[in-house]
Structure 1
Amino acid sequence: MELRQLYYFVRVARKEHVTQAAEELHVAQSAVSRQIHQLEEELGVKLFVQKGRNLQLTPVGGLFLKRAEAILQDLEKAVTEIHEFLDPEKGEIRLGFPHSLGNSLIPQVVAAFRKQHPNVKFRFNQGKYNSLIRDLVKGDIDLAFISPMPSEHDQVSGEVLLTEELYAILPPGHSLSEAEHISLNQLAEEDFVLFSEGYSLRPIVWDACERAGFSPKIGFEGEETDTIRGLVAAGMGVSLLPELALYHTGPLQPAKVRITHPNVTRTIGIIRRSNERLPLVAKVFYSFLLRYFHSKENG
């Protein structure tokens, strides 16, 4: 069975006429008829019956049409992906990232990249730490921003892009809100507003509190940095957030105070599937990210 036979079959099925299909294909009518006849002989079934001047699909021909169309669509998709792979200026990057990077970091780096590569498209996927790694391993995304950077993983590898400081955020008017800096144990008796289970910032904050000599008392939990920030600003408790999550304007904002003991940071990295070649457009973006954050660090 040849792909040409499938092309001819699908076109005849759509037109219900050999002559019209041949004209659209820019080939002789006899060539189309011959390919359809050979296909029917190979399958051992009749795909069409004559109905007046037109052809009508048989029941088995209708079943075969669905499969043939799906095959040709998959082939067309594969050809498109190859062209995108070969031409990084016309490709698409499937990028995953955690919610905490969505407010400022992702828009900044994507905008900077598209200044140099304006025709590249992005397909975004926000998710939790474990789901981002899972989606990357499955092949649903090409690259993922991740925090913290995995120390060891058999199926993914990558680079640390930056290390970010976490700040205490306090309700406006809190007794420590005007302090230049604090020790984390000064918040030992406060209610904490924490990320829900599965979000990478939760264990970072929890570990920092335990290093300061206490386990945080959970007052509220949330799944978005905007929620955490808003609850703290409304006086529902205190929390720790990275600086990138604090770029926000509005009437209700928490106070931001540096923590000097212990020093609380998180790493942000970019990861890819190990031992697998990236699509060229994703490779270009990966190299751009390394240069972009290196220049920020040294700038």
Structure 2
Amino acid sequence: MLLNQMKYFTAVVEHNSFTEAAAALFISQSAISQQIQSLEEELGVQLLFRQHRSFQLTPAGEHFYRQSKLILTDISKLKRETRQIGESEESQLKIGYLRVYGGLELHEAVALFSERYPEISLSIINGTHEELYHELLQKSVDIVLSDQRRAFSEDYMNLELVQSEMYAELAMQNSLSQQKELTWTELKDSPCILIATKEQQATEEEYYRNTLGFNGSFLFAESLDEGRLLVAGNRGFLPIESVGTLPPPVGTIRRIPLMKDRVPITRKYCAFWQKKRSNYYIEEFAALLQQLLAKQ
């Protein structure tokens, strides 16, 4: 009964009226008055100081109101999440991440999540920014780890994970590999190696040329490993971001910071998911990944 009494009490406080609170809750004024009187008797303290037709909260009433609001909000969330889990056809979480991502935190987040929630089946795909965006639109994935290229949408949860610095990976035999920092202009004579499928090559090239400002030529690889093999063969440079713990390059490759106007170039990485499809497990995975990245 205490939960209902909390509900009645907070309604009275927020409407500043027994009559309006009773109408909002579809019960009689006498019933709501009796419930609050019963609540005060059970607690052994006065919550409201009544004076004619008005009232004021006592210090105990102030405390009870604030704590009741928190408890009722938590209970509402618990009911919603339980209902979502019970109504889902299968307990599965579908995750998408960038094909160029090379950090270790995603692997650790997947392992920890699976340990905590063994009842949830994880499926994981990778892709370019545009491919992952399409997967979200089509509801083929529940959550994606991707860079921000568009303004945040109110239809999505946009959880910022990390501001990452950009680097260029070059072969040791490349003359630019001895520099402490590089700019896009200095790299224009070396092909830029992008990780993209054939269908997404034009989109990725347009982004690096028009948004990031690289005016040289491009080579493409299907995977991060394939891209690094091209770097090792001195075919060009590979732009890469330090999203979390990035393993060091092999001995034949150097990783050099990318700069613009003597300031490191940074990219924003986020976890994205549709607000209408948000649930406990999506939010838990996103929070877990955020915590792991924050440690670095």
User: What TM-score, normalized to structure 2?
Assistant: 0.58
Provide, for residues 138-176 of structure 1, a one-character-per-residue CA deviation record: whole Å limited to 9, x for no partner: 322211112225314364332111111111221222222
Residues in 2 aligned to 1:126 and 1:193: alpha-carbon distance in whole angstroms: 18
Q: AA paired with 2:141? A: I
AA matched with 1:198? Q
Q: Which residue is 2:257 aligned to?
A: 258
Alignment of 1:178-193 (within 5 A): 178-193=178-193
Q: Which has the larger radius of gyration?
A: 1
User: For 1:2-36, what per-residue CA distance to the aligned partner results, in whole angstroms no more than 9, with x for missing partners?
Assistant: xxxxxxxxxxxxxxxxxxxxxxxxxxxxxxxxxxx
**Partner SS for 1:215:** coil
**Which residue of structure 1 lines up, in the alignment, with residue 233 of structure 2?**
234
CA contact (8 A) 2:147 2:269 kept: yes
Q: Check 1:255–1:201 CA distance in 2 against 1; reply closer, same or farther (3 A cut).
A: farther
Summarize the Cα distance change of 1:143–1:193 in structure 2 as closer, same or farther, 3 Å threshold.
closer
Query: Separation in 1 of the partners of 2:104 and 2:207?
Result: 21
How many Å separate the matches in 1 of 2:141 and 2:125? Answer: 8
CA distance in 1, matches of 2:105, 2:210: 25
Residue matched to 1:267: 268
Q: What are the ranges of 5 or more consecutive residues in structure 2 without an aligned counterpart?
A: 1-81
* Cα distance change on mapping 1:92 and 1:118 into 2, 3 Å: same
Q: Which residue of 2 aligns with 1:112?
A: 112
Give % identity. Answer: 17
The Cα offsets for residues 35-80 of structure 1, whole Å up to 9 and x where unpaired, read as xxxxxxxxxxxxxxxxxxxxxxxxxxxxxxxxxxxxxxxxxxxxxx
Mapped contact 2:164–2:269 kept (Cα < 8 A)? yes
Would the alpha carbon gap of residues 189 and 292 (structure 1) be closer, same or farther in structure 2, given more than 3 Å must change?
Answer: closer
Say how many residue pairs are matched: 209
Amino acid across the alignment from 1:261: K
Q: Which amino acid aligns with 2:221?
A: G
CA distance change for structure 1 residues 131 and 188 in 2, over 3 Å: closer, same or farther?
Answer: closer
Amino acid at match of 1:137: L
Match in the other structure for 2:133 = 133
Q: TM-score, normalised by structure 1?
A: 0.58
Q: Say which SS state the counterpart of residue 183 (structure 1) adopts.
A: coil
Cα deviation, 1:262-293, whole Å, max 9, x if unaligned, reads 5322221111113x142332232233334444
- Aligned residue for 2:150, secondary structure, equals coil
Deviation at 1:234, TM superposition (A): 0.5
DSSP 3-state at the match of 1:177: helix
Contact 2:142 2:277 (C-alpha < 8 Å) held by counterparts: no
Is contact 1:159–1:269 with CA below 8 Å preserved after alignment?
yes
Q: Which residue of 2 aligns with 1:206?
A: 209
> CA offsets per residue over residues 202-238 of structure 1, 9 Å max, x none?
455435763xxx61123x2223222222101101122
**199-208 or 156-165: which moved more?**
199-208
Counterpart position of 2:31: none
